[in-house]
Amino acid sequence: MFEHLGRLISRHPKLIITVWLVIAVGGFTVSTVGLGGTSLFDLLSTGEPRVAGTESDQAQKLLAADEQGASLTLAAQGIAPDAKGLDVLLQKARTDLAGIDGVDSVIDPLALPGGIASPLAAPLLAKDGQGFLVVVYLKTGLSPTVESAGLAKVESRLDTLRDDISGLKPGATGIVGGTSLIVSAITGQIERDLRTGEAIALPIALVVMVLVFGGFLAASMPMLGALASIASGLGLLYGFAHVIDLDSSVVNVITLLGLGLSIDYGLLIVSRYREELHRLLTSDEGRSVRRRRGDGAVVQALIATIKTAGRTVTFSALTVAIAVAGLTVFRPSILRAFGVAGVSIVLIALLTALTLVPAALVLGGRRLARPGLAAHLPGLRKVLAQTADVRSEEGAFSRLAGGVQRHPWWVIVGTLGLLTALASPLLGLQFRNSGIQLLPAADTQREFFTLLADEYPASSRPTVWVIGETTLDSAAAWVLSLSSVPGVASVDPPSTSGPYVVVGVRAATRDAGGNVAQDVVTGLRAMHPPFRTWVAGQAANQIDFVASVRSRAPAALAIVVLATFVLLFLMTGSVVVPLEALVLNSLSLAASLGVLVWVFQDGHFQRLLGYTSTGGIETYVVALVLAFGFGLAMDYEVFLLSRIKEFHDSGKPNNEAVRLGLQRSGRIITSAAAIMVVVFGGFIFGKLLVIKEVGFALAVVVVVDATIVRLLLVPATMTVLGRANWWAPRRFKALHERFSITH
């Protein structure tokens, strides 16, 4: 199959490139411009990730059924509500706002009977006496088009009112906030972070590849595949957004993965092609090939590349896809969306590596075997002599392997100790399902909600909501008992919603997802009144989300481990090597998550990385890092094992096969890892917390795995195990002979 693919590409390289150009341009255009003016970013959703059917989800739906229509609020600051001339401004604004299509009501303290002296005005007045709220509600049941247009007009009029207030009293300010603006802020930040990450990652990645290949032509090949993958992937996500709920963070994370894998796979394909081309152009074996009509050396090099590196890339992509597919087992829709979209983007990266990049190599021809222009630039010649790919069986990596093999037990003990130390913060892991906290502290909408919590506590949302299926009279004693739950600061007066009683409970904390709030939820759920109750809120949703993930984790883990074991067995014919890979990758992931907790949960490097710790790690970030990180770790494992297996199958003893395999693959692994770190690191410079966490965690996974694990721990363990590395029961050997996937 791979040989046939290689011949097909060598015959039609221009056609393949043209097809990919059409796909990439079409995907990018559709995602950014959209069909009918609706772009990908217009279709994204946001908010706290929930699990359908859980108690907190049911409670949230009951609350939503009783909520008023969409609303926007102006929080005026630095002006007393009885300031001279303010009543005239508010009266005019009231009239204008009420005239907007879709507006249901306009509320401000001066509009109430009795004005600011009315008890009803208290929630609308700032605690310091220098501020007030103007709240505009839209009607329920509006069409999305009418609601969106109404909110836009309301926001514009509130902005004008804010400016008028500033003119009335110099120094007075105001913030317009609301759910629709939060959604807009998050999706807008996602789009800006995507551009920031790509603007940082792509140029640096190109420089790294120039150093790897010694020229711009070879370096441009993986970049071509990456750009095509990004554009095509965005178009694919646009299609997914019409079928499933696509959270705003999915776009950046999936683009991040596709970009990194495309460069990774392209790097391996180009490197192997240059190796094969150099062999054919310099060896006696290639003499007859060079004499054929046409450019036989290029065709043969490409076929050999697809048969070897192409097969390795396919194996690697399958392991990553399996790991990511494990996310579809979980109940939360956000994880399933990541799983489906993730598998798709991995396959796109695989297709560009197996078709587009080889087609470009055919057009590049023999020029890729010669040093590029960069090798002739002053000052770069010596650098490239050390970094550009070489074909010698002896070098820095073989010497490193030799040193490891002389003292394997010391290396094993030392690396295991280091990985354990890095993983230790994981013992204190706290999960979070954040909402507004994902935005940077300086964001206007986050400032708005902070202002509400500080100056308008009565208007801010309670920490926890409790809903009882009963009447107000029969719930009286139960409502009074809620204040006895440990951690409860106060209980709002109950209200009715059809057959339900709704009570807002305020915990003795400002952290709606922290331990105190979670203890309050646990305490409220432990109460057993003689009627059905539901508990909602960030902490309740968080508890249910974590419980759901934990319940499905064993099944997801079993599927990923079993499928990965089978793939690696079919590749190596050993049952020991797959087990070793699974254990070492688990250690690598634990160490990486430990570093993530130490930095983002414990708050180290907040100023340097530009974030504010929420006191925990986003729940779905942990799931993503485990899935994507496992796939990436297996990525490098396949790169290394494929070359070691080649040398072992050619008759080399175990230790020599390990040493030569590391020499041939070590440069590719470290180069690919460096590029991956650049790609992931580019997204750390974004401002959305979840993107920072994912980018940072995956960068750490790559660093830990490509250095400590792949260059030290794997050679050491394979040296200690010796011939046992390649052991398998007789029945397994028979299966491998029948179904093996080898070069």
pLDDT of the residue at 391: 55
Q: Which of 7-11, 505-509, 737-741 has the weakest average pLDDT? A: 737-741
Residue 514, classed as helix, strand or coil, is coil
The pLDDT of 579-590, averaged and rounded, is 91
Q: Has residue 15 been placed in a domain?
A: yes
Q: Is residue 183 scored above 70 in pLDDT?
A: yes
Q: Has residue 362 been placed in a domain?
A: yes
Burial of 45 from C-beta contacts in 10 A (0-12 / 13-18 / 19+): middle
Instruction: Name residues whose C-beta falls within 8 Å of residue 268's C-beta, 6 or more positions apart in sequence.
Output: 309, 312, 313, 353, 639, 668, 672
Q: Is residue 270 scored above 80 in pLDDT?
A: yes
- Check if the beta carbon of residue 263 is closer than 8 Å to that of residue 355: no
Give the CATH number for residue 97.
3.30.70.100
- The pLDDT tens digits for 250-267 are 877 777 788 888 888 888
Say which amino acid occupies 384: L
**Which residue would you say has higher pLDDT here, 656 or 185?**
656
Q: Has residue 551 been placed in a domain?
A: no
The pLDDT of 444-448, averaged and rounded, is 86
Say which amino acid occupies 180: S
Residue 293, classed as helix, strand or coil, is coil
Residues 290 and 147 reside in one and the same domain:
no
Q: Is residue 370 scored above 70 in pLDDT?
A: no
Residues 327 and 283 reside in one and the same domain:
yes
The pLDDT of 479-500, averaged and rounded, is 88
Q: Is residue 292 scored above 60 in pLDDT?
A: no
Residue 305, classed as helix, strand or coil, is helix
Q: Is residue 240 scored above 50 in pLDDT?
A: yes
Query: Dihedral, CA atoms, 54, 59, 63, 65, nearest 10 degrees?
Result: 60
Instruction: Name residues whose C-beta falls within 8 Å of residue 179's C-beta, 6 or more positions apart in sequence.
Output: 70, 71
Residues 305 and 250 reside in one and the same domain:
yes
Residue 484, classed as helix, strand or coil, is coil
Of 353, 280, 334, the C-alpha closest to 50 is 334
Residues 156 and 255 reside in one and the same domain:
no
Write the DSSP symbol of residue 497.
E
pLDDT of the residue at 69: 76
- Check if the beta carbon of residue 311 is closer than 8 Å to that of residue 614: no
Q: Has residue 309 been placed in a domain?
A: yes
Residues 237 and 296 reside in one and the same domain:
yes
- Of 353, 371, 391, the one marking the end of a domain is 391
Residues 228 and 372 reside in one and the same domain:
yes
- Of 356, 391, 426, the one marking the end of a domain is 391
Q: Is residue 65 scored above 60 in pLDDT?
A: yes
Residues 280 and 169 reside in one and the same domain:
no
- Check if the beta carbon of residue 709 is closer than 8 Å to that of residue 633: yes
The pLDDT of 729-733, averaged and rounded, is 80
Q: Has residue 557 been placed in a domain?
A: no
Residues 165 and 288 reside in one and the same domain:
no
Q: Has residue 313 been placed in a domain?
A: yes
Residues 118 and 242 reside in one and the same domain:
no
How far is residue 625's CA from residue 705's CA, in Å, rounded to a whole number?
13
- Of 368, 391, 414, the one marking the end of a domain is 391
- The pLDDT tens digits for 526-538 are 998 889 999 988 8
Task: Give the pLDDT band (50/70/90) at residue 514.
Answer: confident
Q: Has residue 379 been placed in a domain?
A: yes
Of 147, 141, 149, 80, the C-alpha closest to 110 is 80
Q: Is residue 201 scored above 70 in pLDDT?
A: yes
- pLDDT > 70 fraction of the chain, expressed in percent and rounded: 92
pLDDT of the residue at 487: 92
Q: Has residue 197 been placed in a domain?
A: no
Q: Is 728 left (phi over 0), alpha (psi -120 to 50) or beta?
A: beta
- Check if the beta carbon of residue 487 is closer than 8 Å to that of residue 509: yes
pLDDT of the residue at 424: 95
pLDDT of the residue at 219: 77
Q: Which two tokens stand for residue 232?
A: 């095509």
- The pLDDT tens digits for 230-239 are 899 888 888 8
- Tally of domains within the chain: 2
Which stretches of 214-326 are DSSP H helices? Answer: 216-241, 248-282, 287-291, 296-305, 311-325
pLDDT of the residue at 284: 56
Greatest mean pLDDT range, 33-37, 282-286, 385-389, 624-628: 624-628
Greatest mean pLDDT range, 48-52, 140-144, 168-172, 521-525: 521-525
Whole-angstrom CA distances from 197 to 204, 311, 685 are: 11, 30, 7
Q: How many CA atoms lie within 13 A of 82 on its CB side?
A: 6
- The pLDDT tens digits for 532-584 are 999 988 889 989 998 998 999 899 889 888 888 888 888 888 889 899 989 99
Give the CATH number for residue 377.
1.20.1640.10
* Domain around 111: 70-182
- Check if the beta carbon of residue 138 is closer than 8 Å to that of residue 104: yes
pLDDT of the residue at 740: 63
**Which residue would you say has higher pLDDT here, 592 or 392?**
592
Output the average pLDDT for the chain.
84
How far is residue 621's CA from residue 617's CA, in Å, rounded to a whole number?
7
Beta bridge partners, 71, equal 137
Residues 264 and 369 reside in one and the same domain:
yes
- Check if the beta carbon of residue 342 is closer than 8 Å to that of residue 254: yes
Residues 155 and 238 reside in one and the same domain:
no
pLDDT of the residue at 378: 56
Look at the pTM and tell me if it is higher than 0.95: no
The pLDDT of 76-83, averaged and rounded, is 89
- Check if the beta carbon of residue 616 is closer than 8 Å to that of residue 432: yes
Residues 81 and 124 reside in one and the same domain:
yes
- The pLDDT tens digits for 381-437 are 555 555 555 455 667 788 888 899 999 999 999 999 999 999 999 999 988 887 777
